[in-house]
């Protein structure tokens, strides 16, 4: 009985170990970033020469499944899928410590798979000493949403107005929320368009039609669940902005009139200076003419008084 119980315990431990080893880890990476697929063995001391490490795609429908291979301490690219050529690396300084994680460079939409890491050790015979499964989930942040709405006038309460909200270059498809910030109630969009792009990302465009009120506060929110990101843009009634604009126009008018007055004063001063300069020049010329006339008069008198 004791022997049977011991065998049952050993079998149970092996089953639990297999379940734990194959537990899937979900890795989220942004498009274009590098992703680390985790595979860590917590066991006895290892010798790379006796190890074989295989990273492969676990999806059965794939024609080529070899992502990376390490045989007897050396990378082996003979069977590696061409899609992963020059895009995979092991962490060489961690291998002997049982860290067989794989670095996948510049991830793209085609890298979205379930991956499997298998570590084999060759002693008297080859045996599997560790397995791990990793699911690579991809995402991309959406751009800051742009919210456009009508500029409100004081007499437009009750009329129907339309708001629009757009964002782009995100993945996966987002959730779009319209919120009335005066009471935090959710509003139903009038239109929602999600457009895919060739690089795998999406753009989103949504409109909202509501009755105008005297105090409108509308928010558009773009949610990316995978990245747990929520970007929002807000619209608030713009009466105050119009008032500020009017005041600015008044200030500009005042400044314009001030500038005109200053220009007129400058012209008057310039004309006055020209008049003064002209008078000074005229007086100087007149004094020279008087002096010249006196000289001629003296010369004429001298000629009359001189003896013949």
Which of 71-80, 228-237, 247-256, 285-294 is predicted with the least confidence, judged by mean pLDDT? Answer: 247-256
Mean pLDDT for the chain overall: 80
Decide if 49 contacts 61 (C-beta within 8 A): no
- In angstroms, the first-to-last Cα distance of the chain is 178
Q: According to the model, what pLDDT value does residue 24 have? A: 84
Please name the residues in contact with 90: beta carbons below 8 A apart, sequence gap of 6 or more: 53, 68, 70, 75, 100, 101, 102, 103
Q: Indicate whether 289 pLDDT > 60.
A: no
pLDDT reading at 267 higher than 90 = no
Alpha carbon distance 1, 237 (integer Å): 82
Domains of the chain, earliest start first: 19-139 (2.60.40.10), 146-240 (2.60.40.10)
Residue with tokens 């009466």: 239
Check residue 245 and give its pLDDT.
Answer: 41
What does the pLDDT read at residue 188? 94
pLDDT tens profile 53-99: 999 998 766 678 999 999 988 999 998 999 999 999 999 999 989 99
Which string of DSSP letters, residue by residue, matches 196-215? E-TTS-EEEEEEEEEE--SS
Number of Cβ within a 10 Å radius of residue 107: 19
Instruction: Please tell me which of 89-103, 149-163, 228-242, 281-295 the model is most confident about, judged by mean pLDDT.
Output: 89-103
Residue 21 is predicted with a pLDDT of 46
Q: Is 133 helix (H, G, I), strand (E, B) or coil?
A: strand
Query: Alpha helices of the chain — where are they, by DSSP H?
Result: 2-21, 239-305
pLDDT, residue 45, reads 79
pTM over 0.85: no
């Amino acid at each position: 009985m004791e022997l049977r119980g011991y065998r049952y315990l050993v079998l149970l431990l092996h089953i639990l170990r297999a379940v734990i080893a194959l537990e899937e880890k979900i890795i989220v990476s942004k498009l274009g970033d590098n992703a680390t697929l985790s595979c860590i063995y917590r066991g006895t001391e290892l010798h790379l020469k006796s190890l074989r490490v295989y990273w492969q795609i676990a999806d059965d429908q794939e024609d080529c499944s070899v992502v990376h291979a390490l045989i007897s301490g050396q990378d082996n690219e003979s069977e590696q899928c061409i899609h992963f050529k020059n895009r995979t690396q092991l962490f060489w300084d961690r291998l002997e410590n049982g860290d067989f994680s794989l670095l996948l460079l510049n991830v793209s939409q085609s890298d979205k798979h379930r991956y499997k890491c298998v570590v084999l050790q060759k002693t008297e015979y080859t045996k599997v000493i560790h397995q791990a499964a990793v699911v690579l989930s991809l995402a991309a942040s959406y751009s800051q949403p742009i919210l456009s709405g009508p500029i409100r006038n004081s007499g437009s309460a009750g009329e129907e107005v339309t708001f629009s909200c757009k964002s782009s270059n995100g993945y996966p498809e987002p959730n779009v929320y319209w919120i009335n910030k005066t009471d935090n109630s959710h509003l139903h969009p009038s239109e929602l368009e999600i457009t895919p792009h060739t690089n795998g990302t999406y753009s989103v465009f949504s409109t909202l039609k509501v009755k105008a009120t005297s105090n409108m506060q509308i928010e558009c929110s773009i949610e990316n669940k995978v990245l747990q990101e929520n970007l929002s843009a807000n619209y608030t009634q713009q009466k105050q902005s119009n008032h500020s604009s009017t005041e600015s126009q008044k200030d500009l008018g005042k400044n314009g009139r001030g500038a005109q007055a200053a220009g007129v004063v400058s012209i008057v001063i310039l004309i006055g200076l020209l008049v003064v300069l002209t008078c000074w020049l005229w007086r100087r010329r007149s004094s020279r003419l008087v002096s010249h006339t006196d000289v001629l008069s003296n010369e004429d008198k001298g000629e009359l008084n001189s003896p013949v």
